[in-house]
Amino acid sequence: MGRGKSSAAIRYMNRHRGTKCFLYITPYLSEVDRICEQCNFEEPDSDYISKSNILKELMRNRCNIASTHALFSMMDDESLDIAKEQGYCLIIDESIHIIQGVTVSPKDKDILLQNLMEINEDFSVNWLDAEYEGKFEGYKKVAEDRMLYYYAGTLYDVMNPNRLLPFSEVFVLTYLFDGQLLKAYLDYFGFTYDIIGILRDESGYLFSDAPDNPPQVDFTGLIHIIGSGDRDLRMNDIGNERTALSVSWFERRGRSHDDINILRRNLDTFFRIKTSDASGARLWTTYKGNLEWLLGVRNRYASSFLSLNARATNAYKNADCVAYLVNRFVDPNISKFFAEKNIKIDPNKFALSEMLQFIWRSAIRDDREIFLYIPSRRMRGLLTEWITEMNKAGGQCDL
C-alpha cells in the first residue's frame, strides 16, 4: 500500500500511449479524474446516452479510457467484442468483485432446481425457461450471463471468466494477492499470471518483472494498537477466544447479550479517550447486520461507520482513530466452492489483506499516526506480525 502501483501504471500507459489502447478501472472517482488528467484519458460520461453506450463509442474510436469498477461490471458482450477487436489492455486498480453466495430460502431453491435451472458439469447454471417472468427474474439474468453456479447446496454469483479474456493484457494493482479470493478465482478457471513488482528510478515508479522487494518500513511509530501499554488493557478481553467477533460469534449472542453491551461500551470508551469531538477523526466497522447493536446512545457514531468491504472512498483519510470490530474468516461456502478443485485460501492471509485494506482508508494512507482498537486477539496478532515483517528490509509484498 502506497508502494507506487498506480504511479507505475500511469508511467506504463503514458509510455505506450499510441501503440496500445487502455481501459483503466478503479473504485475511486478521484482516481478516474487523476488518470484522465495525467494520461489524457477519456471518462465515459454523458447527459443524453448511457455510460455503457458512451463506453462502446469511445472504444470504437480507440480512445484510452478511465472508469469505475461498476461500469466494468456492466460491460456486455458487444463491449467485450470491441475490446478484443481493438486490442485493449485492461488495468484493474484493486481487486474486483468475483464471487458471493446467493441467499435463497430452501423452498425457493427447490422451485429453482426442479423447474427453472439445469446444473452443468462445471456447476454453472442453465436457465430453462427463456420466456420466464416472475420473482426469480434476477436469477435468470445472472444465469443467462453464465455467472450463476450451484455447488454443494449453495448458489453462487461468480464473475464470468470471459470478462477478462478479450483483453490483450490484464494488470491487477493489488497488495497481498496470495490472501485474496481473486487468486483462488484465477486458479479455479485456469488463468496463468505472473507476480510482478515495483522499482523506483530518477523518473519515479515503474513496473518490474521481479516480485516486489520493498525497502524497510517502520510502522511502529505510526500505528498504535490499544492494548500495548494503554491504561485499560481489559478492553481487549472480549476478543481473547480465537473466533471472538466472527460472524457466528455475533449470531450466537444477539443484540442484548452482555458481550455485545461490553463491546459497545468499549467502542465508546476508545473514541472518548482517543479522539476529540470531531467525528471526522473517527472510523470504525463491524458486520452490516450488527451495526445497530453497536451504535451507542442516539446513534452517536453512525457518521463514522464505514462498510467492512469499502474500497471506493478516500473520505476518511483524516480519521486517526480506527476501531476494527470484526474477526475475518473466509465464507465457508466460498471455501467449499474453490475446494472442489483443491484450491485453498489461506485464512490468515485473507484476514490480514481485508483488515489492511480497511485500515488504509484512514490517516495512515498519508503516513500520519493512527490509534487502533482491534479487540480480536487473532486479528491483532496478524497485524503486529505484519508490522514486524515490514520493519525488516526487503519484507515481501505482492503486486
The answer as to whether 217 is a domain residue is no
At residue 95, the pLDDT reads 77
Q: Is the pLDDT of residue 190 over 90?
A: yes
- Name the band, by pLDDT with cuts 50, 70 and 90, for residue 313: low
At residue 272, the pLDDT reads 85
Q: Which of 12-26, 87-101, 279-293 has the highest mean pLDDT?
A: 12-26
CATH value at residue 39? 3.40.50
| Share of residues in the chain with pLDDT > 90 (%) | 66
pTM greater than the 0.85 cutoff: yes
392, 214 Cβ separation under 8 angstroms: no
Number of domains in the chain: 3
At residue 146, the pLDDT reads 81
The answer as to whether 213 is a domain residue is no
Q: Is the pLDDT of residue 341 over 80?
A: yes
Q: Is the pLDDT of residue 281 over 70?
A: yes
> Is residue 72 domain-shared with residue 112, that is, in the same domain?
no
58, 49 Cβ separation under 8 angstroms: no
Q: Show the cell assigned to 237.
A: 478481553
Residue 297 or 221, more confident:
221
pLDDT tens for 32-88 read 999 999 999 999 986 656 888 999 999 999 999 999 888 898 889 999 999 999 999
> Is residue 30 domain-shared with residue 86, that is, in the same domain?
yes
Q: Is the pLDDT of residue 399 over 90?
A: no
The answer as to whether 214 is a domain residue is no
Average pLDDT, integer, range 309-317: 74
> Is residue 236 domain-shared with residue 369, that is, in the same domain?
yes
Using the structure block, give the residue that is written with the C-alpha cell 460469534.
249
> Is residue 267 domain-shared with residue 326, that is, in the same domain?
yes
At residue 397, the pLDDT reads 45
In whole numbers, what is the pLDDT of the chain averaged over residues? 89
SS3 category, 364: helix
At residue 368, the pLDDT reads 92
The answer as to whether 251 is a domain residue is yes
Euclidean distance between CA atoms 141 and 114, whole angstroms:
18
Least confident of 43-52, 127-136, 139-148: 43-52
At residue 312, the pLDDT reads 58
> Is residue 252 domain-shared with residue 313, that is, in the same domain?
yes
Boundary of a domain, candidates 123, 139, 158: 158
pLDDT tens for 9-38 read 999 999 999 999 999 999 888 889 999 999
The answer as to whether 139 is a domain residue is yes
> Is residue 233 domain-shared with residue 301, that is, in the same domain?
yes
Average pLDDT, integer, range 145-167: 92
> Is residue 370 domain-shared with residue 234, that is, in the same domain?
yes
> Is residue 318 domain-shared with residue 251, that is, in the same domain?
yes
> Is residue 261 domain-shared with residue 348, that is, in the same domain?
yes
The answer as to whether 16 is a domain residue is yes
At residue 229, the pLDDT reads 54
Which residues span the domain enclosing 110?
99-158
- Name the band, by pLDDT with cuts 50, 70 and 90, for residue 355: very high
3-state SS of the chain: helix, strand, coil percent to 5?
A: 40, 20, 40
At residue 96, the pLDDT reads 84
Residue 96 or 10, more confident:
10
The answer as to whether 395 is a domain residue is no
Render 34-66 in DSSP notation, one character per residue: HHHHHH--B----SSS-HHHHHHHHHHTT--EE
Render 198-211 in DSSP notation, one character per residue: EEEETTEEEEESSP
> Is residue 184 domain-shared with residue 283, that is, in the same domain?
no
Euclidean distance between CA atoms 212 and 209, whole angstroms:
9
**Partner residues linked to 119 by β-bridges:** 125
The answer as to whether 216 is a domain residue is no
pLDDT tens for 245-278 read 999 999 999 999 999 999 999 999 899 887 655 5
> Is residue 23 domain-shared with residue 172, that is, in the same domain?
yes
> Is residue 88 domain-shared with residue 105, that is, in the same domain?
no
